[in-house]
Amino acid sequence: MRDVRNPDLSARELRKGRGAATNREGRFERFTKEAIDDGWGAIDEELPPIATTLTVDTTRTIIARNESPDIPFDRSINPYRGCEHGCVYCYARPTHAWLGLSPGQDFESRLFYKPDAAKLLEAELAKPSYRCKFIAMGTNTDPYQPTERRLEITRSIIKVLAAHNHPLSITTKSALVTRDLDLLVPMAEKRLVGVGISVTTLDAKLARTLEPRASTPAKRLEAMRTLNAAGVPCMVMVAPCIPGLTDSEMERILEAAAAAGAREAAYITLRLPLEIKDLFEEWLAAHAPGRAKHVLSLVRDLRGGALYQSDYGTRMRGTGPYADMLAKRFDIACRRLGLNRERRPLDATLFKRPARAGDQLSFL
């Protein structure tokens, strides 16, 4: 593996259609591998594209819970582990290290799926101890990544939630979400669903290397327009806002989203925990070497001189003058465009607990 500061990454390290430039080992591995030139030139030979592999995830529970004070939900569902979208900045990448895999190219090519998700969800909702609050999907890996088109695990989850009037929030970078309008529209009529589409950049060329297998920016905006026109409230997430690379587009993204019918907006600044720091530096060296130093300097300005700080309350937006400027720009643009004037919470009062074997029939 070459030094991340070297912009001349070899063809062997760069793989077509993948976001991460390398497949560096995770933080728990005892050994690291390094490619060397044996004198026969093999190190510079272009390797074939990395194929995506799917493995069954045999999890016994489907709802993940958290007590984080700076996110608006306490439960979520992730139909997949790993994400083929390949967004190089994805904060979920370090989770692949727990599997003995690389947060780099493994994360976007070695995927795990949960075929029993719908059955597990119905069982959890049926428990007498279950208390209904909205479930978030897309908070770790994208529920509408390419393999969902065939596996339809996300769709099966939505069917269960719709059948029992359970509120749901979806975050995605994929236009595939519009496939499920037949489920989402009736839920929206009962205030049971909201969608957030993340738009990092409007530059299709930049998006192709930054988030190579996600829907193009234009298709995401079209999906936003389709959802809002159908009555499914769809907000825009300017996420992540990358200093020195995409931050100049904030106002244009908000304007495009407002034109697509969005009435709410949010933003999150770039986060680089654990292995992502090195992966992002490698990406800059490969795709934006002339801007790398400036981008990383601005990231440090947001993070108290480090590339990342995990403190609750500040990790999503950073601190300092640059963070204050981004917040002010966002607020001014939202006021001008009429965004975030009204927020309608999802309704948890309509929930109908699934019947369990042996339950008494209701007389009502």
Q: Is-contact 361 132, C-beta < 8 A?
A: no
How much is the pTM? 0.90
328-342: b or e for each residue (b if 16 or more CB lie within 10 Å)? ebbeebbeebebbee
pLDDT value at residue 36? 54
- C-alpha 135/C-alpha 74 separation (Å) is 8
CA distance linking residue 79 with residue 66, whole number of Å: 17
Domain ranges of the chain: 52-337
Residue 1: predicted pLDDT: 35
Query: Would you state the pLDDT for residue 41?
Result: 58
pLDDT tens sequence for the chain (364 residues): 333 434 444 444 567 889 998 888 887 766 666 655 555 555 556 667 789 999 999 999 999 998 888 888 899 999 999 999 999 999 999 999 999 999 999 999 999 999 999 999 999 999 999 999 999 999 899 999 999 999 999 999 999 999 999 999 999 999 999 999 999 999 999 999 999 999 999 999 999 999 999 999 999 999 999 999 999 999 999 999 999 999 999 999 999 999 999 999 999 999 999 999 999 999 999 999 999 999 999 999 999 999 998 888 888 999 999 999 999 999 999 999 999 999 889 999 999 999 876 665 554 5
pLDDT of residue 33: 64
Question: CA 310 → CA 28, 45, 198, distances in Å?
Answer: 20, 40, 22
Candidates 3.80.30.30, 1.20.120.420, 3.40.50.720, 3.40.640.10; CATH matching 52-337: 3.80.30.30
Residue 77, pLDDT score = 97
Six-digit token string for 279: 């992966």
